[in-house]
Structure 1
Amino acid sequence: MAEYVADITEREALMSRSLNGDESNHKYVPRRQIPIDRYFAVYFIFLFLGIASLLPWNFFITAKTYFQYKLRNTTAPESSYSDPATLTELQLLLLSYLEISSTVSNLVCLGFTVMLVRFISLKKRVVLSLSLIILVFAATTILVNINSDEWQTGFFGVTMASAAIINGATAVMTGSVFGLVCRFPPMYTQSVMTGQAVGGTFAALASIFSLLGSGTVIESAFGYFLTATAVCTVALLAYALLYYFEFSKYYITETDENHLNAQDSEGLMSTDHLGHIEFYTTIVKKIWRQGIGVCVVFTVTLSVFPAVCSTIRSGDYQPGDPWSDKFFIPVVCYLFFNLGDWIGRPISGWIQQPSYRHQNLLFILCLFRVVLVPLIMFCDAQPRSLPVWFHNDAFPIALIIILGITNGYFGTLNMMYAPQRVPLGQAEGAGVLMSLMLTLGLALGSGLSILLIKLL
């Protein structure tokens, strides 16, 4: 039997203040009591959906060892496929082009989501996009065992196309999930953001464990991509469960009906009368600082991660050495960044500084992160023509961890604050727009990464 609470949730309290600014005196009274999220089941479902939303991207970029093997110089000894001295042009350009194909597709598909959010149901968008991700990941898993030495350029193209399709579908799913979670209390937005960081950490650990295994690169990659397929399948089942819990059903299907009447007479909550352009224009006026802030955060991050960070060589590099040659990049670049990102995102739910009221200070701090770019550039990233300032491994480790923590913390604060500044009827639109700005940051950062690689 469902249990209920009488108190208004934090989400409703914040929404009541956002109707006419921070100091709104309007009361926001629910027509009935709100179900409890028993055992935090819905919270963990959104956490898992967050994992699935960035897991496809993370599984592609952390599979660098596999792609380097597939695109290796076939005239050189097979064991030297990751040796900087024998890297092919396709190996050098892989991550930068992977970022571009993925994020451009992501941006285009998310743009369509913004236009269609009021016309295609959220359930259809999430189910169809997740199903497409599962199918393409299954095809990628099958491709692992196909010998591509004679058609490496074709394999490169297929990889770019697969990444584009998966990330395009992920964009639709992610934008829709963010639009949905913005109808819930802010802690659920933080849950999705934390899940994304967990997904990155999971992918990094899966990559490291695959290297620790006794199997070949091909055998490890097969299990790696098969894991991604399974996780996305579970995410689809988890999403379906949202329609069975009373708590999530309340926010998905009943919130508007229960709350619109309280303010409809004053025109404060209803948005159905707004045209499509006017609907988004009113949202942008209220959340533009958060939108640009999250865009800048991810532009800075993607400009150096993973393209530059994954080329940083240990100061004690020796060919064939287990740590400096095999595990340094998977651990320092991917694992440490994602752990930092994971730490930063849940902290934003406990320590919210700058606070909701100090949005200008948050905006400035997001811009200030750009100083991390030149600092990381002057680590020992190879190949390069620029001088190296930081030879000791402690510098790239510290900088990458800081990059991850600030990415998670400032990105999540912006994503949490934005939907609190609009009426409930515009919450889904605000969530989709914020997801669009996040993706725009990924695209801009990906483009900059190619320039930075060339500047090295």
Structure 2
Amino acid sequence: MFSRDQLALMCLGVCTLLPYNCLLNSQPYFEQHPFEGLDFPFTSMMTYSLCLCSSQLWLTCKGDSFSVNQRIGSAFIMQVVVCLSFFGITLAARGASGAHYYVPILLTIAVLALSNAVLQTGIFGVAGSISQEMSAAIMLGLGVSGLVSFFCSLLVQALQHAVNPEKSDTADAGMVVALVLWAICIAQTLSSCWVYFVYMRRRSPETSAAIAMLEEQRARPLEVSSSGSCESSEESRSAGAAQIFRRLVPILGEIWPQALNVCGVFLVTMSVFPGVLVHWEPLAGSSFVKARQVYGNLLIGCFQVGDVLGRSIAPPVGRVVGPPRLWILMLLRFAFIPLFMLGQRSPETGFWGSDAGRIVLCSIFAISNGLVEPTWP
């Protein structure tokens, strides 16, 4: 059973990646209707990934300038604004003028990446200061966010099909699914604000103590720099940069093997998902010929479910394989790239020539993603 604090951190984990996962489940609609022919899945994920990496790098160097509460509070505000922006763009992009909102939605995705980076560093800092179990609760919440977005979108699509099967694959139907997902994101973010600022800060002694400890650690460099007020601003900046360098070098020296594994895992994943998957269309004789959006959502959902399954079995597998041999599994994942390329170029031949084969291939790909990520002890 989970404690209340674990459930609270799990809720924050869900909040962190829920908008991103809702964007994934909205990809079939955006790709097939308002942004048709603009390769939105690729550009959106590249925008998100580049901005996320840049934001995390910046936070590594300058994050101590902000308190934990400032980080998490600003991330919540940005996330609400982002979801409202997604909601408005989804409404406005309906029709022939949808392409005019291509740049605005990419800018919104960039802000989403920034808010995710800020929120992740904040909540993982708090959880890591309490116990490993709390960090695991956040990781579980990150995975659950994909399940929430997938099953919510699938439920809305099922209701649409039950009410009016002939219009369940139209642009209006896809827009409704996206709008429902953004509304859920807004509600989840607001509830997470209450969880953190009311419950965790005021009613959880462990969280309050962890935040106080983090703030004390953050204040130490500031006290040192203020005590040497006779130094010039240039010398202070040089000293600050040297301090960051001394702090990061030992950490990087320790984690670089696993960092390369992470890079390899995400390189393969981003090469295929979601850009290739959303271009896979139902084959002749498929049950989804008249439900292309459902089909795309189902393939994306296979990844979201499989990723959570892979994360859940990673600890026992890790005890058998061991982190030193993790690179072998990471390299084996590169075999998925030619497989998915063949599936796109010759869709009617091979293992991927049926709906079941494609779902199995996507599931194995997703499980390997969650399994190989270096979350093992």
1:257 Cα shift?
8.2
1:351 Cα shift?
5.1
- Partners of 1:190 and 1:349 within 8 A in 2: no
- Partners of 1:148 and 1:155 within 8 A in 2: no
Asked if residue 369 in structure 1 is aligned to residue 333 in structure 2, the reply is yes
The residue identity in structure 1 corresponding to 2:306 is G
Asked if residue 239 in structure 1 is aligned to residue 207 in structure 2, the reply is no
Structure with more helix by fraction: 2
Give the Cα–Cα distance (whole angstroms) in 1 for the partners of residues 142 and 128 of structure 2: 16
Give the Cα–Cα distance (whole angstroms) in 1 for the partners of residues 120 and 320 of structure 2: 26
Could you tell me which residue of structure 2 aligns to residue 297 of structure 1?
Answer: 265
The residue identity in structure 2 corresponding to 1:160 is L
The residue identity in structure 1 corresponding to 2:358 is P
Q: After the TM superposition, which residues 40-189 of structure 1 pair with which residues of structure 2 at under 5 Å, given as runs? A: 40-68=3-31, 70-71=33-34, 88-90=36-38, 93-146=39-92, 148-189=94-135
Asked if residue 327 in structure 1 is aligned to residue 294 in structure 2, the reply is yes
Asked if residue 404 in structure 1 is aligned to residue 366 in structure 2, the reply is yes
1:362 Cα shift?
1.6
* TM-score for the superposition, normalised by structure 2: 0.80
Could you tell me which residue of structure 2 aligns to residue 213 of structure 1?
Answer: 159
Could you tell me which residue of structure 2 aligns to residue 427 of structure 1?
Answer: none
3-state DSSP of counterpart to 2:201: coil
- Partners of 1:187 and 1:349 within 8 A in 2: no
- What's the C-alpha RMSD, in Å, of the aligned pairs? 2.9
From 148, 154, 163, the counterpart of 1:202: 148
Could you tell me which residue of structure 2 aligns to residue 347 of structure 1?
Answer: 313
1:255 Cα shift?
8.2
Could you tell me which residue of structure 2 aligns to residue 275 of structure 1?
Answer: 243
Could you tell me which residue of structure 2 aligns to residue 5 of structure 1?
Answer: none
Give the Cα–Cα distance (whole angstroms) in 2 for the partners of residues 239 and 347 of structure 1: 29
Could you tell me which residue of structure 2 aligns to residue 268 of structure 1?
Answer: none
Asked if residue 248 in structure 1 is aligned to residue 214 in structure 2, the reply is no
- Partners of 2:28 and 2:297 within 8 A in 1: no
From 138, 154, 157, the counterpart of 1:192: 138
Give the Cα–Cα distance (whole angstroms) in 1 for the partners of residues 194 and 121 of structure 2: 18
Q: Show structure 2 runs of 5+ residues with no match.
A: 161-167, 218-239
Give the Cα–Cα distance (whole angstroms) in 2 for the partners of residues 54 and 286 of structure 1: 28
From 345, 350, 359, the counterpart of 1:389: 350
Give the Cα–Cα distance (whole angstroms) in 2 for the partners of residues 100 and 54 of structure 1: 16
Q: Identify if the C-alpha distance between structure 1 residues 317 and 164 changes in structure 2 by more than 3 Å, giving closer, same or farther.
A: farther
1:69 Cα shift?
5.5
Give the Cα–Cα distance (whole angstroms) in 2 for the partners of residues 150 and 329 of structure 1: 22
1:284 Cα shift?
0.8
Give the Cα–Cα distance (whole angstroms) in 2 for the partners of residues 349 and 280 of structure 1: 27
Could you tell me which residue of structure 2 aligns to residue 336 of structure 1?
Answer: 302
1:372 Cα shift?
1.8
Q: Identify if the C-alpha distance between structure 1 residues 298 and 317 changes in structure 2 by more than 3 Å, giving closer, same or farther.
A: farther
Give the Cα–Cα distance (whole angstroms) in 2 for the partners of residues 388 and 39 of structure 1: 47
- Partners of 1:60 and 1:163 within 8 A in 2: no
Q: How many residues align?
A: 341
* TM-score for the superposition, normalised by structure 1: 0.67
Could you tell me which residue of structure 1 aligns to residue 225 of structure 2?
Answer: none
Partner deviation per Cα, 1:92-146 (whole Å, 9 max, x = no partner): x110011111111212211211112222212211110121110121132133333
Give the Cα–Cα distance (whole angstroms) in 2 for the partners of residues 182 and 137 of structure 1: 28
- Partners of 1:210 and 1:224 within 8 A in 2: no
Identity of aligned residues (%): 20
Asked if residue 223 in structure 1 is aligned to residue 180 in structure 2, the reply is yes
